[in-house]
Amino acid sequence: MANAKRKSVPHSQASKIIPKGKLLAIGGKEDKGEGQAEEKFQNINFIHEQILKRFVDELQGDNALVVVIPTASQIPEETAQDYVKLFKELGVHNVQVADIRTRPDANKPEYVELIQKAAGIMLTGGDQLRLTALLGGSEVLRTMKERYMFTQIIIAGTSAGATAMSTPMIYEGESQGGYIKGDVRLTTGLEFLKNVAIDTHFLTRGRIVRMTQAICTNPECIGIGLEEDTAILVTDGGNIEVVGSGLVTVVDGMAMTETNIYAIENGQPFTAKGLKMHLLGDEDRYVIPPYQRVQLQ
């Protein structure tokens, strides 16, 4: 595959560009306690087989290269090798690892070259803040975004890897469940999807309220909650297809009529009226409104 060339796009035209690449955001299924590393690969089974087969089916070209980025994981070497094994079992034998553990690693030419050649990229689970802190502003991330915009690559992320794809990005929520103002912490994600907040393990861990708080702070955003063994395949920058065995929850705040979140102090419960929610299952489709898609330059 020829290296993708960087294209300069006038700012006024940026929102009109439709990405040629695809995203696969997966709800994950890591059985780990607070602060614990991902459990050693019982995790092989943490993505429904249907989802990874779909990832493989979307790869373009002969002997397609898949690059695994285990940056989010606290046990990156073990996690990466489990994915190498897993993809080979699915018939993909050209699998390489971009073992990015520091910010200098994220600018190494050999890792940038892997991204330039990849037909597919897998961001593993772990801690989404590691992904944004280590990849943000790097050559690896810039190259990933260019490939997503201008080539038919598929970029997948599971658990933390899925959450980090969006902006705003939820990176922490207190044990109260998110109904108290200040419980939920947000930052800028990797920005493959803008004006979209993704959360994972959604129903299993009862994250509907923390997602609602994120949307109430900016109702123009769409919230997408991914249950375990469930994914969304995003094409054309905002056309969503559900893949997998569970549910996807969409929280839409555009029609919200009232909230007190701007008026109360941290530590007080927030309220909201008029929110809209959709529950989507396998093969269901949803379209992010075009005016909410601020595309990459």
- Reported confidence tier of residue 49, pLDDT bands at 50, 70, 90: confident
> What was the pLDDT predicted at 289?
83
Q: Which stretch of DSSP H or E encloses residue 220?
A: none
43 pLDDT more than 90: no
CB 251 within 8 A of CB 215: yes
Alpha-helical (H) ranges within the chain are 49-57, 76-89, 109-117, 128-135, 139-150, 160-163, 208-216
Instruction: Tell me the three state secondary structure of residue 32.
Output: coil
> What was the pLDDT predicted at 32?
28
Burial of 136 (0-12, 13-18, 19+ CB in 10 A): middle
147 pLDDT more than 60: yes
Between 10 and 262, name the one with better pLDDT.
262
In the block, which residue shows the tokens 């093969």? 283
Q: How many residues does the structure list for the chain? A: 297
- Domains delineated in the chain: 48-158 (3.40.50.880), 165-288 (3.40.50.880)
Mean pLDDT along residues 279-293: 86
Give percent of the chain with pLDDT exceeding 70: 84
In the block, which residue shows the tokens 């070497």? 77
**Distance separating the N- and C-terminal Cα atoms of the chain:** 22
CB 20 within 8 A of CB 150: yes
> What was the pLDDT predicted at 204?
83
Give percent of the chain with pLDDT exceeding 90: 74
Query: How far are the Cα atoms of 55, 59, 232 from residue 284, in angstroms, in the given order?
Result: 17, 22, 10
> What was the pLDDT predicted at 4?
42
pLDDT digits (tens, 9 = 90+) for 205-250: 888 988 999 999 999 999 999 999 999 999 999 999 999 989 999 9
pLDDT digits (tens, 9 = 90+) for 69-114: 999 999 999 999 999 999 999 999 999 999 999 999 999 999 999 9
CB 171 within 8 A of CB 200: no
For residue 265, what are its two tokens?
């102090």
The CA dihedral of 116, 126, 194, 106, to the nearest 10 degrees, is -40
Q: Where are the strands (E) in the chain, listed by range?
A: 22-26, 66-69, 95-97, 120-123, 154-158, 166-167, 169-173, 184-187, 193-194, 196-200, 222-226, 230-235, 239-244, 248-252, 258-259, 272-273, 276-280, 285-287
> What was the pLDDT predicted at 127?
95
Mean pLDDT along residues 118-129: 96
Q: Which stretch of DSSP H or E encloses residue 217?
A: none
Q: What is the pTM of this model?
A: 0.87
> What was the pLDDT predicted at 183?
86
Mean pLDDT along residues 184-201: 94
